[in-house]
Structure 1
């Protein structure tokens, strides 16, 4: 067999297939796709920043500011800052790994290359939990907005088509429709999806700017007292809910993640060495600033107890200020822009599934891409999976369970930075995490602390999900892996 790069890659692959250790690592040279599986490079850093903001700014700030205020009071501002700081540390670690390994798959891919197969499987399995829950819950949440909007136009959707079986209906049709539309856009092309996403992100930011412009002039310092009614720690309350600044930070964390979806776009980025770091870090910094401004305007305009239990806290605050018309505009604009979250997370989930299919953990035929360079097959399969969940299962916004999967991925990526720095100090790193031996441990420690601040039932559910995942790995996936 001639000594060509492709034949050497095949030899590496055969060697990997003979290794059966659960700690085997995927060679760096095998990260890039084979012919017929490569994705089209159509994205630049503005697209990536918009993708990150579209994923991060969504149901989190629109709903969780009320949940956070209920648990921390006005000190929810500190909770936002803590969650943002932990995510910023994780984002810097993601930026280093994404620029060093510019392949799809995000934390799953980095773990496979650095930490070993079984860790990569656990991370990938946890990401399936995160992305599936986020996409499904956002779709169901959007369905509620859509049903209300239809009523404004004199159209009343029958309850049988607006709710799943457990809620007395037959199927949640709007949730399925929005997933189908977003999936269709993704299958049309990545560039086209990015353009639509950018336009909706601008609308979303304009909506939040409108809220701040109306609420901030009503800022009253008296609304900030007492600032920490439940303390700074994480204190257990009724029903297993944890109060205090850290208890709120653990749930508000849901409002920050989404930048990890940018790392799944590595293969479709024109200049991954530069653009991935700009997209990840830039979107994270922008969203942290946006959240702090919006949170300050909210808790300063109205006493936190008046909006803490609301499903639409920003609109309620505007109505409390006598601006019902603006509240309607904010609610409608939020409903229109909310699909950016679906687009970003459905995009990320399909790319993670794509890489797992390449690695043999899913049927390899799903890794094929269309002539336009988009993974049509895996996007379709992903959309069907999520649509079934959203259409038939009654999902509350159980942010904490999705958080558990994300925390697992963040810990793994930070660990990848430390292990690769020690094992491969000469490894090419176009972006280097500043003060890595401080930032990465802070990301790991912060994520582990946030995990302990989650409800016990969430922690149990997370470990149960991964116990099932390990059973699937040892009974099915391990012997099918194509290293």
Structure 2
């Protein structure tokens, strides 16, 4: 019992976050614009192209308020991230902050939850990209085998395009951080241009009558079938569309000027994406009644077809094909860095923590991440586990807010390059908001999240607790 209690006192000294062997150090190659693009690349993707329709079905025009609520919760978390990232500009994100502030067991569970989040997101987005790619190939009249476009759970053999995009993105990331960040930057500009074009085309058809009634289901109500409707349930769903900025903090060690660039990247990407989401939502509702596009899996393309912009509708579909790989790239990047830093701390096998001298990237762990995501996307039934990504993110957000508040009390005199304004209020807002959103997840998702972390606890007790650098 005494030894077990000692494990909870394993705190990683903040001064040691950069004390790593030369072969296990990441190379700083990213500027602030790369970091903003990294955040926007992770945030703007499947959410704005698909969830806007589902959110409209839950809240009607009131989804505008849902976007604001989800954005506020995410903004509170983003401010906490900015403070911790600039104070500890090292890889690992929420895992590293938890290790320094709350100890090794908590850090392990946070890292284990991040692995869940990033893996599921990569696989889920790859499957979504595959659907758009299959439609595009059909439009080009290319010969395709249907059984190679879907996994066994959907009646196929393997989702080959999903496997291919996962491996392609992993290869690009392994080639070098700056190279992949540059590609991401270009693709982000293209998809933002597509969304700007959507707003410009939809605004001439704007009809304010489409916003009445504004709150058809109120703040929260229940149907006879037990489905939650209203602004708050929609906010819980829309939260999926906001996370991604946390990946920037995993790039802290690779930022050229972390003191300035990390806060600009994290806060800047959140503000930019919130404005984009609200603008697109306003244009969408103004152009077409909610009931028309809410059931659609491609709401933006449907809206343009409805207002007789068929050619631009096809372009939006093409933009989706361009946008989705950037989301995979961002989350696979985050996944590889979480694996890397946990291996560097020896909570995972140390062989995963080697950085290639030529590319400056952890090639082994990057390829491993790509292969795992490819296997899941090619074979697994993702419909039942996709929301697990949200549970992992909420866990990380709560951990970062807690770390920020605890460290403010424990070490108030420490220099902070970026200070969270009204830190007590902001931190509490992030924690309470994330707990509410977690409580709004389906019970099955909550149970799977607990099971996943129970497995992680077994791995930690069987392997990591003995192999940890702090155990030496």
Q: Normalising by the residue count of structure 1, what TM-score does the alignment of the two structures yield?
A: 0.94
Conserved 8 A contact 1:251-1:400:
no
Q: Tell me whether 1:438 sits opposite 2:436 in the alignment.
A: no
Q: Tell me whether 1:187 sits opposite 2:162 in the alignment.
A: no
SS of aligned partner of 2:294 = coil
| Cα distance in 1 between the residues matched to 2:329 and 2:252 | 16
RMSD: 1.6
Match of 1:12 in 2: none
Tell me how far 1:156 sits from its aligned partner: 2.8
Conserved 8 A contact 2:385-2:445:
no
| Cα distance in 2 between the residues matched to 1:286 and 1:311 | 24
1:361-440 equivalent positions in 2, closer than 5 A? 361-371=347-357, 372-396=359-383, 399-440=386-427
1:283-322 equivalent positions in 2, closer than 5 A? 283-322=269-308
Change (3 A) 1:349 1:240: farther
| Cα distance in 2 between the residues matched to 1:318 and 1:64 | 17
| Cα distance in 1 between the residues matched to 2:345 and 2:225 | 42
SS of aligned partner of 2:24 = coil
Match of 2:107 in 1: 120
1:336-355 equivalent positions in 2, closer than 5 A? 336-355=322-341
Match of 2:204 in 1: 217
Match of 2:318 in 1: 332
Tell me how far 1:326 sits from its aligned partner: 1.0
Q: Tell me whether 1:264 sits opposite 2:254 in the alignment.
A: no
SS of aligned partner of 1:46 = helix
Match of 1:9 in 2: none
SS of aligned partner of 2:383 = coil
| Cα distance in 1 between the residues matched to 2:392 and 2:331 | 14
The match for 2:450 among 463, 478, 482 is 463
Tell me how far 1:92 sits from its aligned partner: 0.4
1:13-412 equivalent positions in 2, closer than 5 A? 20-32=6-18, 33-233=20-220, 235-237=221-223, 241-371=227-357, 372-396=359-383, 399-412=386-399
Change (3 A) 1:165 1:68: same
Tell me how far 1:285 sits from its aligned partner: 0.3
Q: Normalising by the residue count of structure 2, what TM-score does the alignment of the two structures yield?
A: 0.96
| Cα distance in 2 between the residues matched to 1:473 and 1:128 | 14
Change (3 A) 1:378 1:425: same
Conserved 8 A contact 1:139-1:342:
yes
| Cα distance in 1 between the residues matched to 2:190 and 2:227 | 34
Instruction: Give unmatched runs, 5+ long, in structure 2.
Output: none
| Cα distance in 1 between the residues matched to 2:345 and 2:5 | 14
Change (3 A) 1:21 1:240: farther
| Cα distance in 1 between the residues matched to 2:136 and 2:285 | 28
Instruction: Give unmatched runs, 5+ long, in structure 1.
Output: 1-16
Tell me how far 1:457 sits from its aligned partner: 2.2
Conserved 8 A contact 1:242-1:453:
no
